[in-house]
Amino acid sequence: MPHARVSAAASGHRFPRIALVGRQATPGIAAPLAELAAFLAARGHHVVVDASTAQYAPLPGYATAAPADFAPMVDLAVVLGGDGTMLALARQLAPFDVPLVGVNQGRLGFLTDIPLREMTATLAAMLDGRHVEQQRTMLKIAVERADERSDRGLALNDVVVNRGSIGSMIEIAVVIDGRFGYAMRADGIIVATPTGSTAYALSAGGPILAPELASLLLVPVAPHALTHRPIVIDDDASIAITVINGRDAGVHCDGQGHFALAAGDRVVVERAHCRARLLYPEGHDDFATLREKLHWTATPEELRQGGA
């Protein structure tokens, strides 16, 4: 199923209940969080502050709750932080169909792309209905072990099976829709969504996928044989990755959820039933974001001078 991009210019949605989540332990985040909470409250929204955020930046007068508690009851979540904060929250809120808006308090900011200096003006327009929505593919994993123990996880960017910090290369076998694909020795393998194609997969030599593509990306990480190359497959495929040999291996969801793996363990990666709902300002352009974040239009001289 293709990813939907829906204009809400005439929807009139007010998002009466809004969760506010900030990047934890970030210097200087308390002031913009307080400004954002006051702005939302003044518009008549009921504001709930993430409990972990409130520990680092207390906001007296506002209700606090953990994502597991506020997820079933809010209409929108606004993230003030970086992409890592957005990834963590997306995994928690996607099963509840809660849309997210990101204000960039981090560095690169592919997902949290609203500049801090334009926060309230941009949000005012979006909350009045002038926004676009992208529904992004998410991945689910099942870790199957010989002793019948199992683990489950979700990812928005990628699922990575790789060697540990003290181990050498791992040997893995990849099966796609029940058909043997290949075996290889490598530092690991990345299964990325189009959203994650601009993250670890890009650093490992993978291509950039447009967000609306119904595709997944398999990218080897430092393979022993240079003939192993990234491949793109349909996003309804089931990918099984078995650890044949490897010490201290593991599987990671968005670089944040971690499970240890041993020889014989199998990781099954599939498209999740839920999707991450990301809201962007009206007129959002994914290619403009790539040009800005990756400095595609900048000359080396501009980059050195900080002009891009």
The single residue listed with the structure tokens 């979006």 is 126
Selected catalytic residue, list 50, 75, 83, 286? 83
Contact predicate 230/22, CB 8 Å: no
Catalytic: 83? Answer: yes
Instruction: Annotate the chain with DSSP letters as a single string.
Output: -PPPEEE-TTT----SEEEEEE-TT-TT-HHHHHHHHHHHHHTTPEEEEEHHHHHHS--TTSEEE-HHHHTTT-SEEEEEE-HHHHHHHHHHHGGGT--EEEEE-SSS-SSS-EEGGGHHHHHHHHHTT-EEEEEEEEEEEEEE-TTS-EEEEEESSEEEEE--SS---EEEEEEETTEEEEEEEESEEEEE-TGGGGTHHHHTTPPPPPTT--EEEEEEES-SSTT---EEEETT--EEEEEEE-SSEEEEETTTEEEEE-TT-EEEEEEEEEEEEEEEETT--HHHHHHHHHTTT--HHHHHHT--
What residues act catalytically?
Answer: 83
